[in-house]
Amino acid sequence: MATANLETEQSLVQPGQLLGGVDEVGRGALAGPVVVGIVVVDPHSCGQVPPGLTDSKLLSPKRRRELVPLIHDWALHVGIGEASAADIDEVGIMTALALAAQRAMLDIDSRCHAFLLDGSTNWLDRSIAFRAARTSTKVKADVTCAAVAAASVVAKVHRDALMVSVASDYPEYGWQGNKGYASADHRAAIEAHGPTEMHRLSWRLLPEDPEPTLFD
């Protein structure tokens, strides 16, 4: 598996300028928060990318955990922010993503000159905190762009650990395995026991439920 590189990041900022790679985890889950990772680098001088770094979904859980300390050593700053199920119900998923990113920036003690966001939609502009910076989007940036791949890994490891930590409080739902996503066992538990405060109540938790009302 090829390691992500910094070619895109280097094209977006001048030497000495900082770029924040941004990715989210948990966007499609039925329960638990959405988590945004932001990894800040000077792509012209940050050194060798951690070997094997790529989209978190392409890595084993063990390898993701191994990469986290390497990412912290490599990057200038790492920020992680959450938006809860209640946040998502209140403002919708896209604004909740921006809210989680805004909270991730509280961990970052630098001004980013630009941000690179995985995907094709700039949901960062839903937060005033990001409107002064240049934001670029790139489909599959989490696979090929090292700063974004790093953000995907730290966000995934954080969210998975969170869902495992609360699974014992809600043993019926199997979150230690499904991490709050729409697996058959998770939906069967919702049908049998109803939703919890960790569930996104505005979402289609069961196939017969109406479509989400705050999905945009």
pLDDT digits (tens, 9 = 90+) for 127-167: 988 888 899 999 999 999 999 999 999 999 999 999 999 99
In which element (H, E) is residue 63 found?
A: helix 61-74
CATH of 7-193, one of 3.40.50.460, 3.30.420.10, 3.30.1300.10, 2.30.30.40: 3.30.420.10
The band of 212, judged by pLDDT with boundaries at 50, 70 and 90, is low
Q: Does residue 207 surpass a pLDDT of 70?
A: yes
H or E element that contains 20: strand 19-25
User: pTM of the prediction?
Assistant: 0.94
d(CA 15, CA 46) in angstroms, rounded, equals 10
pLDDT value for 56: 94
pLDDT for residue 122: 95
pLDDT for 214 beyond 70: no
Beta-carbon-side half-sphere exposure of residue 89 (alpha carbons within 13 Å): 15
Tokens at residue 126, please? 């839903």
Name the packing angle between helices 146-167 and 61-74 (round to 10°): 130
Which structure tokens are listed for 30?
Answer: 């039925």
pLDDT at 210 over 70: no
9-59 pLDDT, tens digit each: 999 999 999 999 999 999 999 999 999 999 999 999 999 999 999 999 999
Three-state SS at 19: strand
Q: How far is 56 from 126, CA to CA, in rounded Å? A: 25
Which residues have CB under 8 Å from 201's CB, separation 6+?
Answer: 85, 89, 195
Residue extents of the structural domains in the chain: 7-193
CA distance 72 to 51: 14
Instruction: Convert 18-49 to b/e letters by CB count within 10 Å (16 or more is b).
Output: bbbbbbbbbeebbbbbbbbbbbbbbbeebeeb
117 phi and psi angles, rounded to 5 deg? -120, 130
